[in-house]
Amino acid sequence: MNKTVELQDLGLRDYKDTWDYQEALFKSIVDAKIKNRREALNLATHNYFLFVEHPHVYTLGKSGDMSNLLVDETELSKKGATFYKVNRGGDITYHGPGQIVGYPILDLDNFFTDIHKYLRFLEEMIILTLAEYGLKAERSPGETGVWLDVGTPFARKICAMGVRASRWVTMHGFALNVNADLGYFDHMIPCGIRGKAVTSLHVELGQKEVNIEDVKEKLLKHFTILFEAGMTLKESVS
């Protein structure tokens, strides 16, 4: 089993370009697994973890309801935003500058073959990271992601999640609001859940801006512990 994960920080990158890149990495792992099985090989498969920020974009998952996007194409264009239907689970979400988006593309055969455990570990990574900033983040029963003040009238989501898995290979992932412009969430019903607010780390801490690189460092620390993974860094990504 190969528990080494290659980290790639893509910086600010177009959503569709990144999606295509994810698909290519995902396919390379699946193809390697198929070849291993067909030719009775036992070659190691690769694992990747992508960090990225996207320009303003709304994405709708396979089970999503288009009515949860509250603006039309013209309004989206005026706001400098794009829209895509995607092949992850979940409903509608927003990505934009000031948000850490993480795409683990893992062969879970290298770790554990349990998609629910995988999601819980991603949530735990976020919860432990936010605890380092003095925030008590939680899971909300029946609602994937990470929340604050669950079970109160002030419940608010700080991290959305949606994944796809095939042959135990994962793609898509999480979106953690760090310095996000929360006004963009007003143009949708976040994750299709009415009456729940959205927040960002800088708002919760009462800061103008949180150092996003520090947050990434903490996320990776908890990821490597939870998944018992080793991390290598790809220095530059075209």
Whether 161 has a binding-site annotation, put simply, is yes
Whether 164 has a binding-site annotation, put simply, is no
CA neighbor of 71 nearest in space, from 83, 61, 62:
83
What the block records as the tokens of 130 is 């936010």
Whether 181 has a binding-site annotation, put simply, is no
∠ CA 33-39-45 to the nearest 5 degrees?
25
Whether 192 has a binding-site annotation, put simply, is no
Whether 160 has a binding-site annotation, put simply, is yes
Label each residue of 35-46 as H, E or C: HHHHCCCCCCCC
Transcribe 175-211 into DSSP letters. Answer: EEESS--GGGGGGB-GGG-TT-EE--HHHHHT-S---
- Distance CA(30)–CA(218), nearest Å, equals 30
Q: Among residues 100, 137, 188, 191, which one is catalytic?
A: 191
- Distance CA(235)–CA(238), nearest Å, equals 10
Whether 94 has a binding-site annotation, put simply, is yes
Whether 155 has a binding-site annotation, put simply, is no
Whether 96 has a binding-site annotation, put simply, is no
159 is catalytic: no
- Distance CA(118)–CA(172), nearest Å, equals 13
Whether 91 has a binding-site annotation, put simply, is yes
Whether 134 has a binding-site annotation, put simply, is no
Write out the catalytic residue numbers.
191
Binding positions are 88-95, 160-162, 173-175
Binding positions for substrate are 88-95, 160-162, 173-175
